[in-house]
Every structure is written in structure tokens, then in C-alpha cells.
């Protein structure tokens, strides 16, 4: 299936995603899987676009814009790969499910951009900038509603898991807001935020795939654990990229977490490793509500001096390894191998 109005670049986009996430050597090894996964993602996109239409043209336009800027389709890719790793050749049983989880993720990005006052998303104007804050908020709500319309095709247990993941997302946002500009919140608080804001939706999506596929409870739990660990690795890497990434690849400016006072693992590790004088300076700058470029650059310089990046990267790799170990109940094969490589890629990606 081809999504009406969608670009014919799915394969190129997926190849770019795999190459930049896993490296050219690994990408060449999974090249034979790409045509199948491209068809899967096109089918998921087609189903997703089916439910975006509204009576009001402006809302339809805003919803489609949000979806077009809503990320790299990592979650549908993971769900399609997991479904095939469990031995299924037809992707149709999970198409609506994967579309639902992608819409939930996109809705959270829209609301995040409102909260963070973001100007851009993936190299384009953010929803608040493109459509204004009121329509951005309403569009995010609309995407949530459409997601549950798709989820309603599945058993109650799946709908409840979707609802639980959404509740976790909201709780994660509240927890993050509570610790904004506070470096004393600590690692335990940080991981509570990440498990809810990032991991919950991935873990719920993969566990739902396994349940729909009729897998044993141990396999359902394994894919849920994989999703949780991969999500944490992904978020830790995201924290690093906010300081050390390439803004052109990321499609957004650097230092957003520092600017907004988000106590990420990078900031917490930096604060813990600095001596008393520099620790006090780091905290004073971090707590500024209005930071200038010189403040952000000094915070980055102190991060470099603390050597926090190495420790944070090692933490991401540990979570990626946990994700890979959890896949033992999944039958060996090329798609399980892809899931393993994607876990490594979550800790190594450049965008």
C-alpha cells in the first residue's frame, strides 16, 4: 500500500536510519530485510493516515503536519521487527496497533514542544510555531483520540496497556516538571522519569505485539523488558546528543535540556563529578531561568571538564546489553538479530 500524498522515500529513509544508527557494515547485513520492513511501514502509515481526517480542514492539516514531523518511525519499526521475529509473515494483524502507538508518540511530541517552547522539530517549524499553541494542544489531543480509535480494534487487555502507557507518559511529564532546575533530584528520580516518558510506550507496544501474536507469557514479558531497557538506552543517548550531537542531523538546536533546566543523567553526572567550586558554578548556571549563549557554553565546558560523557555513554551501553539479553525467549533469526542491533544502535546513534 502507498500512503496518499506521502513521499516515495520510505526505503531511502529507512536505509538512512539503519545506516546512521547501526553503521554501514551492519546496514549491509540487514539490507535484504529492508524491502519487507519498508512494506510494513508503508502499511502502518497508510492505516495511520486513514484516521487523521476531520470535519475541519485546519485540524486535518495540523494532524498530518504533526505526523510528518513526528520522528523516524522507530516504534513501528520495532513492532514490525518483533512481529516477524516471532515467526509471522503477514504484518496486517499489528498494523492498526503500530499506527496507534505511533500516534500516541506523536501526540506527546506535540505537547512536549508546547511545554518546551520549541521552535523546530526535525528541521521544520514545531507545531506551536506553525499552527499556534491552542491548535497545537488540540491537535495533540486529537491524535490521542484517534490512537484509541485504532486500539479499539484489539482486546481489552491491549486497550488497557495503551491506557497505562499514556498514564505513565503524563506522570513522567509531571515528575520531570517537579525536578526542573533541581540537580539534587538524583539518579533514581531521573530513571523514574525516563521509564515513564520514554520507555513505557515502547515496552507497551512490544508486549502488545507479543500478546496479539499468541506468545507465551514469558515472551510477552521478555519483549516488554526489551522495550523498557532499549527506551532507557535511547533516552540516555538522547541526553548526550542534546550537548554533543549534530544539530543538522537532529533537526533541532543543541542545549535544550540545559536551557529548560531538565536534570538529565549528563547534568547529574557532571554535578556529582565536579569539585566544590566548579560544582557551585554549574548549579548556579543550571538554575538560571533565562540562559544566554555564554551560560550554555560554560555549562558545556564544565561538562567536558567533568568527563561525564564517558560515564553516561557507558550507562547507555549497559541498558542496551540488558535489552539484548532479554530477547532470549524470542526465536533466533534475522529479525531477532535486527532487534539486537537496534538495541546497540540506541546507545550509539548520532541523531
Closest to 128 (Cα-Cα) out of 141, 144, 110: 110
Residue 168: strand, helix, or coil: helix
Q: Please give the grid coordinates belonging to residue 37.
A: 520492513
Is the distance from CB of 348 to CB of 237 less than 8 angstroms? yes
Task: Please name the residue that has the C-alpha cell 513505557.
Answer: 200
- CATH superfamily, region 14-153: Farnesyl Diphosphate Synthase (1.10.600.10)
Q: Locate all alpha helices (DSSP H) within the chain, ordered by sequence.
A: 10-22, 24-29, 34-50, 57-68, 74-85, 92-116, 127-131, 133-151, 156-178, 186-194, 200-212, 217-244, 247-250, 256-260, 265-273, 276-286, 293-306, 308-325, 334-348
Angle 257-259-260 (CA atoms, 0-180°, nearest 5)? 65
Indicate whether this model's pTM tops 0.85.
yes
Cβ(95)–Cβ(47) below 8 Å: yes
9 pLDDT tier (thresholds 50, 70, 90):
low
**165-180: average pLDDT:** 93
Confidence tier at 21 by pLDDT (50, 70, 90): low
Q: What is the pLDDT of residues 297-334, one digit of tens each?
A: 999 999 999 999 999 999 999 999 999 999 999 999 99
Residues 6 or more apart from 53 whose CB is under 8 A from it?
Answer: 60
CATH 1.10.600.10 occupies which residues in the chain?
14-153, 163-328+337-351
Res. 137: pLDDT tops 60: yes
| CA distance linking residue 201 with residue 197, whole number of Å | 8
Q: What is the three-class DSSP state of 337?
A: helix
- Position 236 scores a pLDDT of 97
Residue range 163-328+337-351, CATH number = 1.10.600.10
Q: Does the pLDDT at position 6 exceed 60?
A: no
The pLDDT tens digits for 203-249 are 999 999 999 999 999 999 999 999 999 999 999 999 999 999 988 87
Q: Does the structure show a pLDDT above 80 at 12?
A: no
Amino acid at each position: 500500500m502507498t500512503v496518499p500524498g506521502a513521499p516515495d522515500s520510505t526505503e531511502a529513509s529507512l536505509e538512512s536510519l539503519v545506516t546512521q544508527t547501526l553503521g554501514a557494515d551492519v546496514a549491509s547485513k540487514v539490507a535484504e530485510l529492508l524491502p519487507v520492513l519498508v512494506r510494513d511501514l508503508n502499511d502502518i502509515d497508510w492505516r495511520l493516515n486513514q484516521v487523521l481526517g476531520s470535519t475541519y480542514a485546519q485540524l486535518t492539516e495540523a494532524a498530518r503536519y504533526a505526523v510528518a514531523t513526528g520522528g523516524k518511525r522507530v516504534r513501528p519499526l520495532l513492532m514490525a521487527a518483533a512481529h516477524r521475529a516471532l515467526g509471522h509473515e503477514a504484518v496486517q494483524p499489528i498494523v492498526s496497533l503500530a499506527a496507534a502507538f505511533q500516534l500516541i508518540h506523536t501526540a506527546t511530541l506535540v505537547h512536549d514542544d508546547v511545554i518546551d517552547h520549541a521552535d523546530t522539530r526535525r528541521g521544520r517549524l514545531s507545531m506551536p510555531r506553525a499552527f499556534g499553541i491552542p491548535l497545537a494542544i488540540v491537535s495533540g489531543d486529537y491524535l490521542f483520540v484517534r490512537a484509541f480509535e485504532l486500539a479499539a480494534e484489539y482486546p481489552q487487555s491491549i486497550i488497557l496497556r495503551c491506557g497505562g502507557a499514556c498514564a505513565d507518559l503524563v506522570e513522567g511529564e509531571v515528575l520531570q516538571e517537579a525536578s526542573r532546575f533541581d540537580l539534587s533530584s538524583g539518579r533514581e528520580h531521573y530513571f523514574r522519569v525516563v521509564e515513564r516518558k520514554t520507555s513505557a510506550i515502547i515496552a507497551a507496544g512490544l508486549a502488545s505485539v507479543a500478546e496479539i501474536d499468541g506468545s507465551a507469557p514469558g515472551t510477552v514479558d521478555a519483549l516488554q523488558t526489551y522495550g523498557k531497557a532499549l527506551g532507557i538506552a535511547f533516552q540516555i543517548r538522547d541526553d548526550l546528543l542534546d550537548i554533543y550531537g549534530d544539530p543538522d542531523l537532529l533537526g533541532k538546536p543543541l542545549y535544550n535540556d540545559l536551557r529548560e533546566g531538565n536534570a538529565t543523567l549528563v547534568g547529574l553526572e557532571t554535578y556529582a563529578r565536579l569539585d566544590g567550586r566548579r560544582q557551585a558554578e554549574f548549579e548556579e548556571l543550571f538554575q538560571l531561568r533565562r540562559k544566554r549563549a555564554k551560560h550554555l557554553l560554560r555549562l558545556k565546558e564544565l561538562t567536558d571538564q567533568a568527563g561525564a560523557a564517558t560515564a553516561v555513554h557507558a550507562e547507555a551501553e549497559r541498558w542496551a546489553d540488558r535489552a539484548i539479553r532479554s530477547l532470549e525467549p524470542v526465536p533466533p533469526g534475522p529479525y531477532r538479530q535486527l532487534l539486537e542491533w537496534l538495541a546497540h544502535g540506541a546507545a550509539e546513534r548520532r541523531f
